[in-house]
Chain A
Amino acid sequence: MQASPTNTQEEVQHDHESKKEPRKINALGDKALRKRAYKESFKKLGLRTMAHNPVMLTVEIGSILTTLDTIRYLFIGPSSAFWFTFQISIWLWLTVLFANFAEAIAEGSGQAQADALRKTRTDTNAKRETSPGQFEVVSASDLQKGDIVVLEAGDIIPGDGQVIEGIAAIDESAITGESAPVIRESGGDRDAVTGGTRVISDQIRVKITATKGNSFLDKMIALIEGAKRHKTPNEIALSLLLAGLTLIFLVVVITLAPIAAYSKVVVSITIFISLLVCLIPTTIGGLLSAIGISGMNRLLQANVLALSGRAVEAAGDVNVVLLDKTGTLTLGNRHATEFLAISGIQEAELAEAAFLSSLADETPEGRSIVDLAKNKFNLENPDATNFEFVPFTAQTRMSGVDFEGHEIRKGAVDSVLKWVGSDLVSETKEAVDSISRSGGTPLLVAKDNKLLGVIHLKDVVKQGISERLEELRKSGIRTVMITGDNPITAAAIAKEVGVDDFLAEATPERKMEYIKEMKAEGYMVGMVGDGTNDAPALAHADLAVAMNSGTMAAREAGNMVDLDSSPTKLIEIVEVGKQILITRGALTTFSIANDVAKYFAIIPAMFILAFPGLQALNIMQLTSPESAILSAVIFNAIIIPILIPLALKGVKYRPAGAGEILRRNILFYGFGGLIVPFIGIKLIDMLITSLHLVSLVK
């Protein structure tokens, strides 16, 4: 999206990035959601539903077996054994339910968003064009791909489509939550309209591009509801590892039975199952799907729609991002910063000429010239009745004013020179070149075929962008600026902004080539695009964010859609992608590190009768074998709900080098995972002891 200095449409640049309320849903705080999640937790107990999660399936089968053991003790006694087995069974069932609840609450918050969207999918009528000028009213659901409909102010757009004629303001709040209307027009990069949104002014002709059920809104609802949620590659790999660990510990516990029998130790099945459940990675197993779902939800709250889970993961892996200069790194417009008069001309004279010629120029550039001249020379608005303004056209590449027999023109260097019919004097040429080198744009001003001087238009770097880029660099991500400027200008701006590299004089082909080259070197590339000519590059990028304001072609080529159409959103997406992976890794490490403490709780408790010396392994000084085992099982269960908020919110991500992040997370989740259960199990044991919940006989 390369801005020409005087393109009026650039005004609709989306500078309102953080003005609106994010569509935040606090899943745990919402009573209705919680209630639904409670119900879902029980519904998910079906063995077939559990089969997708081998870790929790193992726990559930274990719960069934201990429940049977409880019933057995009910009949044959002793009551102390019944009471112990009963409590273990309760906590094992709770372990399963807690895990189900975590998944349900994560799904629930997505569900709430889907429901809100579904409300907008009301069936409307549409005026279908049968032949030019002839219309029939049909139901939106009868529309076919390729049909042409005519829409007026107040109409709900019946389906996704492309504006083929006209321009209109459209209220897209239904899908974006953004109440300010957006402009959609034919023939540009903003010709896509979404079904369910509303026309609020003017009339447009729209060609329908998606049939009912396949629309953007439908896709969005399906994605949010998780109907099409597939496991991401890393999630699959992690699930495999967790299944492998579960299998190993299953064999450890099964083979322990004969080994214990050889050692003349009598151990009940309930205790074996308790050991098994404590050893298998239930914490991460219970929270894994919640982490993935809530990651998608977080993206959605940032108004980004990921069209696949794979894309979310790719976001975390991206190590090169292509950022458009205009709109992303710099404000979408340039500002006049100085007037450079040629020798023999007063600066005030140049300023006045520039001022007069820009009075009618409503572009930000034009306004900035007016402002600068006013500030510097206290100029006042003249009586403009006799003024005849000459607007900018793509052919002349100049604008200006004719008044009282004078003609003033300002514009691109070569155009104005042509108009004047002379060449640059070396002094002016130097000024023009130095402006170009510094990344600015020189505008020549001439009055009555005589050159007055140069206006220096400067790109204004967005506030805070350099810091964001620095953060990306810390995370090991290379930033590449894409611009249509010539290499000299591009280099100057690149330096000012602080990007690692730039691609100057970028055409769609060059962008695509660049992406291909980076990928051949093994980089993962992320980019944002909106125009039809961005589509090929988007299709090649690993993380391709299409703007909602963009064309249908761009939207289809991308794997994410940014409903806010904010060009800096890419950075947030990368962070969410990383956060999901970090959360998974942190909880897995925590889960596995927990095993050490659980071993020290359960193993001495199991064998202490046969080998009293093993009391030395009871380093937590737990009261009795029964209290030790119950404490470990309870700790194992309650750690899941304790960690649900973390799973939903994600581990905090602060941009930093991998080494630093690793150090922090290993310290917190690795060492924490080793130590926390020792403390937790001890505390639970003290509670059990004081409440006399089980036999306290050593």
Chain B
Amino acid sequence: MTLQGLVQPFIIIAVMALLAKPFGTYLYKVFEGGSTFLDPILGPLERFAYKISGIDPQREMRWTTYGLSLLAVNLVGFVILFILLRIQEFLPLNPAHQSAVPFWVTFNTAISFVTNTNWQVYSGETTMSYLSQMWLVSQQFISPAIGITFLLVLVRGFSRQESKTVGNFWRDLVRGILWVGLPLALVGSVVLVWLGSPQNFNPYVHATTLQGSHQVIAQGPVASMTSIMQLGDNGGGFFNMNAAHPYAAPNAASLMFQEILGFLIPVGVIYMFGKMINKKRQAWAIFIAMSAMFLIGSVALYHFEAAGNPIINHIGLATHGNMEGKEVRFGVGTTSLFENTTTAVSWGSVAASNDSLTPLGGLVTLFNMNTGEVIFGSWGVGLMGMLGYVILAVFLAGLMVGRTPEFLGKKISAYEVKMASLFLLIPAFAILILTAISLTTHAGLSGIFNPGPHGLTEVAYAFSSGVANNGSAFGGLSSSSPWYSATVGLAMLIGRYPMYIPLLAVGGSLALKQRVPASAGTFPTEGPMFIGLLISTVVIVGALIFFPVYALGPIAEHFAMVAGKLF
């Protein structure tokens, strides 16, 4: 391990701590009122959008109406995407003459981009026409903005009292796209072009390499797609190999910039949450809990990767830890950080082949996703999931202070506990049941490239990534087979709607409640005690569910590796 490699994650967190306030304040103004410097340009656009669609942005909605509107937008997005991918060969902007996308791949892809997962079972540059890529990009703006709308309902549950309504979905969505997604992506693209990524509509370049072999070098609007892919925590890269491709991340500076881009909104919404509830210390407590888990994960992953594989080390092949499947330009430290972040912040793009991570390194990425991607997570839903854990933690420990548990003055009663439990058990069921079925059916088993514990990790990772709406692939699995296209598609659906709608309901129910004034008898939720409690809840309640799978997958593989056996 090098000092530079160790320090990197700490630098990222420090930068984020500095950016949280300005971005959080901006987000607060966008969604909860106040003016921003972009209003003169975007205001007319917003009013125009409402005018042509006949929306009254002032009309307040109950959480049910809000939720149905949200589902409707996603359904329409799914249908358009589905049709477009199936008939892309007849549509313009297709210089590479890509043909129709296969049915299950289309099913999977449409869900993937609607749910902000952006799991790609296709190879971007060899499957999609430019028009399809561009439409996918538009989904990359809509789906993360929808993530914020999810969060807004829950947070308004805390910030409002005795209110039947939780805001207007259309207004939140439009402002999320116009004020957040578009301007930031634009700035991001410009910086990425400056850092060396291409941005064009040229046909692919054909070249002959020094060894004389033929190579097709894909071109396209790489910078803009990379920008929103990172910013929106999407991960639907232009290239199949994502950030490991020299165009997507031409250098370390570009990679670092992309990391920061991915963190921006997930960190910003934490501060926005603090402003909405008027308790910034609470927001910082959550930020610290997430940061602690992020740093431990990053250092652990780096440690396992730097230690590498004892068998290979023994025969003297490796000198820099585990370099298998890693981009040589970045090295172990930077790549490890990127892989931890991609599963923590949920952007899902990779800079390495996760299949080649050491077993325990892979375990860290699984842990990040299985706990619901609450270590920052993607836009809105990351914090929303963490607040789900907060509700569980507050309920369990809150009883211990001798009062009906409450958080931010709102009593946590049976309804909230029931919904938070659903939030916990729905994704766990999806991952475990789909993994179990895949391991007992021919369709599932035939897609596994590596037998034994490694194969189990591959399957568990695919469903974990799907349910977590992460979109990164471990690899080593024929994910484009109809079985995995369909089941991972299902996992992505479950991990978006059934998982988070219970928390929407919590928001609706909390908004109705009156706030209890704080006193010395109130459960303290801002100090180190609470931070420790929250982390323990995530680890014990969230991850213990998967302990048997970890034991049979990565842990068994690790000890086998130590004993000299590889899978």
Contacts and interface: CB of A to CB of B under 8 A. Distances in A.
A549 B412 CA distance: 37
A521 B405 CA distance: 18
Contacts of A248: 424-425, 428-429, 545
Contacts of B436: 254-255, 257-259
A659 B527 contact: yes
14 contacts: A233-B404, A238-B399, A240-B417, A244-B422, A252-B548, A256-B548, A257-B436, A263-B456, A478-B519, A577-B402, A578-B403, A593-B540, A665-B400, A670-B536
Contact of A614 (B403, B412, B541, B559): B559
A687 interface: no
A97 B297 CA distance: 43
A658 B521 contact: yes
B375 interface: no
Interface stretch (B134-142, B190-198, B216-224, B509-517): B509-517
Interface centre among A584, A603, A617, A662 (most CB of B within 10 A): A662
B203 interface: no
Given A259-B436, A586-B400, A477 B521 contact: yes
A317 B433 contact: no
Interface in B415-431: 416-418, 421-422, 424-425, 428-429
B318 interface: no
A240 B435 CA distance: 27
Interface of B: 392, 395-405, 409, 412-414, 416-418, 421-422, 424-425, 428-429, 432-433, 435-437, 439-440, 445, 452-453, 455-456, 514-517, 519-524, 527, 529, 533, 536, 540-541, 544-545, 547-549, 551-552, 555-556, 558-560, 562-563
A589 interface: yes
A659 B400 contact: no
Given A255-B433, A259-B435, A662 B523 contact: yes
A613 B547 contact: no
Contacts of B404: 233-234, 313, 316-317, 581
Given A476-B519, A581-B402, A589-B400, 12 more contacts: A233-B404, A233-B413, A244-B421, A260-B552, A317-B403, A319-B519, A476-B522, A521-B517, A585-B401, A592-B396, A612-B559, A658-B524
Query: For the side of the interface on A, what is the size category?
Result: 35 or more
Contacts of A473: 520
For the residues of B in contact with A, the DSSP-based class is helix
B392 to A, nearest CB: 8
Which among B392, B439, B560 has the highest number of chain A CB atoms within 10 Å? Answer: B439
Interface of A: 233-234, 236-238, 240-241, 244-245, 247-249, 251-252, 254-263, 265, 275, 313, 316-317, 319, 473-478, 521-524, 577-579, 581-582, 584-586, 588-589, 592-593, 595-596, 599, 603-604, 607, 610-614, 616-617, 653, 657-659, 661-663, 665-666, 669-670
Q: Which of B452, B552, B563 has the most CB of A within 10 A?
A: B552
Taking chain A's interface residues, is the majority helix, strand, or loop, or is none over half, making it mixed?
A: helix
Contact of B414 (A236, A256, A477): A236
Contact of A585 (B398, B521, B527, B556): B398
Of all A-B residue pairs in the complex, the 6 with the closest CB atoms, nearest first, are: A613-B559, A476-B521, A585-B399, A578-B402, A244-B421, A476-B519
Contacts of B409: 522
B400 A617 contact: no
A523 B519 CA distance: 10
Contacts of A596: 540, 544
Contacts of A610: 556
A61 B421 CA distance: 23
A666 B400 contact: yes
A285 B78 CA distance: 44
A476 B523 CA distance: 10
Contacts of B440: 258, 261-262
Contact of B439 (A236, A258, A584): A258
A530 to B, nearest CB: 27
Contacts of B563: 612-613
Contacts of B456: 259, 262-263
A612 B562 CA distance: 11
Given A595-B544, A666-B529, A658 B401 contact: yes
Contact of B551 (A237, A247, A607): A607
Given A263-B452, A603-B551, A617-B555, A240 B414 contact: yes
